[in-house]
């Protein structure tokens, strides 16, 4: 089982999701097992204007812990992230980052 803890910059209470990564995909948006896929399957909204196809940055999240438990960033994601508002060294696109273990992410406002 993996845990995905979600912190909300807007002040909403944090949420922790436990799930089995081998059961992905959970929804139809984003890569199977991605942060977006897991959040949507558990009733947590993460904006994704392009439908989770790495064509925008609305699913931008900031990884607070567990970066090593996410899939490596591919060139498409890296190129797209360059345009994200509030970009940090720990930014990822929720539609592309596949969760493989315990991770803590923050959803910016």
pTM above 0.85, yes or no: yes
**pLDDT of 26:** 92
Q: Which two tokens stand for residue 75?
A: 């060139």
CA distances from 2 to 23, 27, 84, 104 (A): 11, 17, 27, 11
The whole-angstrom separation of Cα 75 and Cα 93 is 12
Sole residue written with tokens 């009733």: 43
**Whole-number pLDDT of residue 28:** 87
Element (H, E) at 5: strand 2-8
Q: Which of 86, 72, 78, 2 is nearest to 41 (CA)?
A: 2
44-81, pLDDT tens digit by residue? 999 999 999 999 999 999 999 999 999 999 999 999 99
Which residue segments constitute the domains of the chain, with CATH numbers given? 2-107 (3.10.20.30)
């Amino acid at each position: 089982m993996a845990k995905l803890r979600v912190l909300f910059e807007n002040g909403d209470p944090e949420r922790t999701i436990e799930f089995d990564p081998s059961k992905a995909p959970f929804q139809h948006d984003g890569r199977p097992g991605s942060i977006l896929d897991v959040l949507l399957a558990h009733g947590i909204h993460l904006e994704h204007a392009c439908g989770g196809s790495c064509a925008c940055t609305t699913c931008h999240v900031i990884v607070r812990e567990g970066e090593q438990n996410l899939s490596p960033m591919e060139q498409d994601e890296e190129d797209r992230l360059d345009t994200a508002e509030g970009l940090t060294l720990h930014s990822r696109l929720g539609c592309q980052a596949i969760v493989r273990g315990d991770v803590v992410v923050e959803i910016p406002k």
